Amino acid sequence: MGTEELVRLEDVWVHYDSVPVLEGINLTIKSNDFLGIIGPNGGGKTTLLKVILGLIKPSRGKVTVMGQPPEKGRRFIGYISQFNLFDRDFPISVFDVVLMGRYSQTGLLRRYTEEDKMAATEALKAVEMLDYKDRQIGRLSGGEQQRVFIARALATNPKLLLLDEPTASIDPDMQAEFYELLDRLKEKMAIVLVSHDISAVSIYVSEIACLNHQLFYHGSKEVSAEELEKSYHCPIQLIAHGTVPHRVLKEH
């Protein structure tokens, strides 16, 4: 299967109250990409994802998703936000949460079809949560809930999965399993992962970009200390841990 261009950003700028949040962003995401985006808080990472989804309109520049404006092309994208706020006592099952991902196909006023239910079942299988389908979502652990939210995104059969700090609510002991799940999913779709976990990102992703209003990206996972210093505005020290290189921030 050939490589397909999914997303293109050309000289994209975003301003909040005349203050630039994204400055001259150029980025192409293709069908075989597993891109990790790192950078400091307030650097524009979440804003970038919302621009791709068409939720924020750039002040300048051009964005296309599957060759279309993002408002039309985003039906090909699954999105996991940084914060999933919901009433943990609300009596909704895991299966019904995943079925919600089919709204883009069914519309709010249509009944779910057998095709919708099959898509939800297959999505739960993909994240190894089918045995939990009748559980109340609020009774699951943080890691289990994130798997369910990914299944909800997968129910639309996306070509691209966007994840914004997906391990923020997951116990550290469960994070390795979560990243291994993404490692399996990358065989079926492109993935963009926003994370502060530089070491984990460097292990699992194929390419790394640094974002702090400007994007430092060269299409590989080799990021120089100089580029990290430009992004984080503080010194970087390179250390070795076993066979995996880790980059950490010096005290500053």
151-193: per-residue pLDDT in tens?
A: 999 998 999 999 998 887 777 777 888 888 898 899 899 999 9
Query: Cβ(179)–Cβ(193) under 8 Å?
Result: no
In angstroms, the CA 142 to CA 165 distance is 13
The 10s digit of each residue's pLDDT in 192-210 is 999 877 776 778 888 999 9
Q: What is the mean pLDDT of the chain?
A: 83
236-241/244-249 β-pairing: antiparallel
Q: Is 131 helix (H, G, I), strand (E, B) or coil?
A: helix
Cβ-based neighbours of 93, under 8 Å, separated by 6 or more: 133, 134, 135, 136, 137
Domain ranges of the chain: 5-91+158-249
**Single pTM value for the model:** 0.82
**Cβ-based neighbours of 78, under 8 Å, separated by 6 or more:** 101, 150, 153, 154, 156, 158, 160, 161, 162, 189
- The CATH code of domain 5-91+158-249 reads 3.40.50.300
